[in-house]
Amino acid sequence: MPDKPLNAASDSYHHGDLGNALLAAAETLLHSHGPGGLSLREVARVAGVSHTAPYRHFSNKSALLAALAQRGLERLHDAMAAAAASVPHGPEQQLIAAGVAYVSFAVSHAEIMQLMFGPHIGPAPVGTEKDAFAVLLTIVESGIAAGVFRARDAGELAQVAWSTMHGLAMLITANRLDVDVSDPAALAERVSSVASNVIYGLSR
């Protein structure tokens, strides 16, 4: 009974979802080998196809890495948005929550962060790379409207917040700050401390 399965692709010659299978394999290998150590041939091997099959789905290795980075940008945005939404206690707490989400994501996806913000790929497609920034911008805008943040250009304040969180995340994942990344509570404490200092300033 040679029926065509609609939900499964057990046929195994065309397994139908090779694009996503390759991305999944690449993500696994990225975790163990790091970017640069990832080879397209090994990705194909893990996915169970010949080493030229990936070229049916991605025009080259860079395109695969770019797709991975794109995925990462979306997930980071979602994690930040969810964190901010879960805190109805005002802009300061939302900013801190979004920062904790940012750094937590960076710690558990260090290699993908390198792809997202490194030189491996060009700038992300317009309208998407702003998504993580957009979360911060929204929080800052609501904070200005509520009179909690200074009435400066919101974009400028959001840039300050982004820079600080990004730098903190990169220095922590690069092992430059003495933070135990395996302890989520300690990590959140560190991020909260830095975020609070940015909110209230260094002066006086």
Q: CA 66, 68, 70 angle in degrees (round to 5)?
A: 70
Decide: is 204 part of the binding site for a copy of itself (CB under 8 A): yes
Decide: is 157 part of the binding site for a copy of itself (CB under 8 A): yes
Contact region for DNA (CB under 7 A) — 47-55, 86-94, 125-133, 164-172? 47-55
Are 53 and 18 in contact by the 8 Å Cβ rule? The answer is: yes
Contact region for DNA (CB under 7 A) — 48-56, 91-99, 145-153, 160-168? 48-56
User: Considering CB under 7 A, how many residues would be counted as binding DNA?
Assistant: 20
DSSP letter, residue 10: T
Question: What is the identity of the amino acid at 99?
Answer: G
Positions 9 through 48 that interact with a copy of itself (CB under 8 A): 34-36
Are 47 and 18 in contact by the 8 Å Cβ rule? The answer is: yes
Chain centre to alpha carbon of residue 84 = 16
Mark 142-165 as b/e (b = at least 16 C-beta within 10 Å). Answer: bbbeeeebeeeebeebbeebbebb
Copy the structure tokens of residue 103: 């750094």
Decide: is 56 part of the binding site for DNA (CB under 7 A): yes
Decide: is 112 part of the binding site for DNA (CB under 7 A): no
DSSP letter, residue 56: G
Are 171 and 177 in contact by the 8 Å Cβ rule? The answer is: yes
Shortest distance, position 176 Cβ to DNA, whole Å = 24
Alpha-carbon distance of 67 to 164, in angstroms, equals 26
End-to-end CA distance of the chain, in Å?
80
- CB-wise, 9 or 107, nearer to DNA? 9
- Residue 159 binds: one of a copy of itself, DNA, none (C-beta under 5 to 8 A by kind): a copy of itself
Decide: is 133 part of the binding site for DNA (CB under 7 A): no
Contact region for DNA (CB under 7 A) — 13-21, 76-84, 159-167, 174-182? 13-21
Decide: is 2 part of the binding site for DNA (CB under 7 A): no
**Which residues here bind a copy of itself, judged by CB under 8 A?**
34-36, 92, 110-111, 114, 117-120, 123, 129, 133, 140, 143, 148-150, 152, 156-157, 159-171, 174-177, 193-194, 197-204
**Which residues here bind DNA, judged by CB under 7 A?**
13-15, 18, 38-42, 49-53, 55-57, 60-62
